[in-house]
A and B are shown apart, each in its own frame.
Chain A
Amino acid sequence: MTASTVDHPTRRDFLFVATGAVAAVGGVATLWPFISQMNPDASTIAAGAPIEVDLSPVAEGQDIKVFWRGKPIYISHRTKKQVEEVRSVPLSNLPDPATDQSRTKDGHEQWLVVIGICTHLGCIPIAHEGNYDGFFCPCHGSQYDASGRIRQGPAPLNLPVPPYQFVSDTKIQIG
């Protein structure tokens, strides 16, 4: 190709470029449905709607596990002692500093609601185990306290708190 044709693209070049561009646009647009289909389908999304949980059967010191969007949610009815303990820890002692107040709802401080998935690699920690009277992950030994905060082990972050609110004193809505 000589310099002059580069400087003055011919109609032929334009035709080829246009055809190529339209083909490329079509090809990319065609890809979209093939990728999008991997996302959760409409029934899965609808099934992830909020759920209500009745707390009245859960006695002090007990906890229950419910499932929301396929994830286990721990709901613990903490004892006075546990609440005091987690509220008295200085934040500077925590790898992922957060107050217990910010992780629970005012007026319902005895209730802890966390997603029971270890922030290390996704195993499910066991409640009421470990050195901190909280959760212990059997996979690689991460330990969480009774506020679900990471205290020791390879996990980097606290157990996340799912979106929830109290509908009444004994009922919460998760989601």
Chain B
Amino acid sequence: MSGPSDYQPSHPAVKWLEQRLPIISLVHSSFVAYPTPRNLNYWWTFGAILSIMLGVQIVTGIILAMHYTPHADLAFRSVELIVRDVNYGWLLRNMHAAGASMFFFAVYIHMFRGLYYGSYKAPREVLWILGVIIYLLMMATGFMGYVLPWGQMSFWGATVITNLFSAVPYFGESIVTLLWGGYSVGNPTLNRFFSLHYLLPFLIAGVVVLHVWALHVVGQNNPAGVEPKTEKDMVPFTPYATIKDFFGVSCFLILYSWFIFYMPNYLGDADNYIPANPGVTPAHIVPEWYYLPFYAILRSIPNKLAGVIAMFSAIIVLVFLPWLDSAKTRSNKYRPLAKQFFWIFVITCILLGYLGAQPPEGIYVIAGRILTIVYFAYFLIVLPLLARIEKPRPLPNSIADDVLAKTGRATAPMVSTLIALFVASTLFVGGTGQARAAENQETPPSLSWSFAGPFGTYDRGALQRGLKVYKEVCSNCHSLSYVAFRNLSEPGGPGYSPAQAAAFAADYKIKDGPNDAGDMFERPGRVADYFPSPFPNEQAARAANGGAAPPDLSLIAKARSYERGFPWFIFDFFTQFQEQGPNYVAALMQGFESTPPAGVTIPEGSYYNKYFPGHAIKMPPPLSDGQVTFDDGSPATVQQYARDVATFLMWTAEPHMEARKRLGYQVFVFLIIFAGLMYFTKKRVWAAAH
């Protein structure tokens, strides 16, 4: 389609370059003069959105790599230090983490669009297959990226996914050892994953170039699915498609920013804020939401090798799609039966995703099996059969006819599918949190926090009181090793002055050394020091606490969560509810009961707590009324302590929350203005084409 360019350079320097390397005319013919069907709808903007997302991921990824340490002992901490200390580190990390999800969200829409409008059919088979390759590379990249923070989910996700290869007959074990570079997932694994995670995006970019090249050879498909015949069917890429794509991108950025600035942990798993521990597996291993449908297929097959084969086949089958569906009509708009089956297929995928997040038991397994069959049946039975029996509706004569027929008709179907899809995907994403439902755990009451919502800020008084409770009570057993004394005087924190923070630090004895004589020595704390740990190492902590090491509290407010359940997790997306952690901490502090309810036995050395998963907690009730006195007249009650300490721990887990929400507000004002301007600009530009 992108025949010889009519680009005529006038500037002598450009002429000189053109004769030696016709790069400007190449760009001109591919992105300016390139004819694009005039009836493309907004589903077609996802190609541009994906290119932008790839760029965002590469740029933020390169930057994160400047600050990240790929070592099993240091990786988790280095990620935390990026978020806490690097200028705008929290922003870059949120962009990259939420960016991965947004990238997959966009790619799924792009794929379903291709599926619906038959974009894989001749002559676009190679274009489609290149897309499947990009998707596979994305999955590999996303998986390895998720391993890098080296939290519990990273570690166990890596273990489970690499173990898929142990299903290979005869060579399985050797392959897995090869992948790990050891006898278990460890430092060599992390190192190679980091290397490959850096490499693969550039491979993706390379295949994207091929994908775009193939696209420019065969031309874009369009909602009518008829090939363009005359000039009247087409508009030049610039300004028409460019401006429409930019409008699409600006709307997409609004959704993306919602996650970056307000819901950074909505798509993540609380367990990944616990450092990797090779000795303890989290109760439910759940992959990132974008792998869930395939994870469900894997689990619904009771044989290891067959399960792995089914999972990979579920993706590979896409490669053969152009030949499985041999119907001549491309667009499902003109295929009444195929259209219905398409939506059944979409719902199947969403439900499979939901099941992937559920514990593999009971009804979930049966439903998973049925849906797995439906998934494969769509490709292997329904599509080939429909091609033979379905009688398509008459196609429009040309793209121009299609546009004329549409003018004056409301675009309601498009909007309603958008809404339906959105609700469905929130349902799907929210389902990831469901896995904990099976545990018998009481739901902590939702308290009202000053830091909740889009304009939330920390209550300085509560932070200062919480710090006092931590110092006088919690710090006897719990470390706070990601928090430095200097943080106490940083903006958005407890609001101490640098001098107060220095005085606070000087109260502590910090182990330093070795000195010139080679000895370790103690000195008063400085603001650059971190809160010292009560125990020299984990073993000592374990030994002194009846076998259960008290966890570090720096991240506890993000590392603990609970089930919200349907339909709350959908509302949570809109209300920006992110306060499970502090709710849980506050509830746990008050959830001790000296006599467990009838029928519950608590082992020797443990205590009954209503909100602790499993109820038997090794920590004795830490707080009692009157234990800590406050100067500001706040009541010296356990309830007050619990609230204050939960506020304080939310701050230690998320020290830049105020900056994040403030910048989020500015970004939203900007994006809404920008998207509005883009909308009117787009209307103006397209007015000439109609």
Contact = CB atoms under 8 A, between A and B. Distances in A.
B554 to A, nearest CB: 14
B253 to A, nearest CB: 9
B92 to A, nearest CB: 6
A139 interface: no
Contact of B670 (A12, A26, A43): A26
30 contacts: A15-B677, A16-B681, A16-B684, A19-B678, A19-B681, A22-B670, A22-B673, A23-B246, A23-B674, A26-B670, A26-B674, A33-B91, A34-B59, A34-B63, A36-B88, A37-B63, A37-B86, A37-B87, A37-B89, A38-B66, A39-B87, A41-B86, A41-B89, A42-B85, A42-B486, A43-B85, A46-B484, A47-B528, A49-B527, A57-B516
A12 B239 CA distance: 14
Interface string A2-32: 0000000000100110110011001001000
A44 to B, nearest CB: 8
A110 to B, nearest CB: 21
B680 interface: yes
B673 A37 contact: no
B674 A43 contact: no
Contacts of A44: 85
B67 A33 contact: no
Interface string B662-685: 000000001001100110110010
Contacts of B486: 42, 46
A33 B528 contact: no
B58 to A, nearest CB: 12
Given A19-B678, A34-B59, 20 more contacts: A19-B674, A19-B677, A19-B680, A19-B681, A22-B673, A33-B91, A34-B92, A37-B66, A37-B67, A37-B88, A37-B89, A37-B92, A41-B67, A41-B81, A41-B86, A42-B486, A43-B528, A46-B484, A47-B528, A49-B526
Contact of A43 (B81, B680, B681): B81
A46 B63 CA distance: 22
B121 interface: no
A19 B242 CA distance: 14
B92 A33 contact: yes
Contacts of B677: 15, 18-19, 22
Interface of A: 12, 15-16, 18-19, 22-23, 26, 29, 33-34, 36-39, 41-44, 46-47, 49, 57
B89 to A, nearest CB: 7
A34 B681 CA distance: 29
Contacts of A41: 67, 81, 85-87, 89
Interface in B53-68: 59, 63, 66-67
Nearest to A42: B85
A9 to B, nearest CB: 14
Contacts of B670: 22, 26, 29
B476 to A, nearest CB: 26
A103 B129 CA distance: 72
A20 to B, nearest CB: 9
B84 interface: yes
B514 to A, nearest CB: 14
A35 B684 CA distance: 36
Contacts of B59: 34
Nearest to B82: A41
Nearest to B243: A19
Q: Shortest 8 CB-CB distances between A and B: which pairs? A: A33-B88, A46-B528, A41-B85, A42-B85, A19-B677, A36-B87, A41-B86, A43-B85
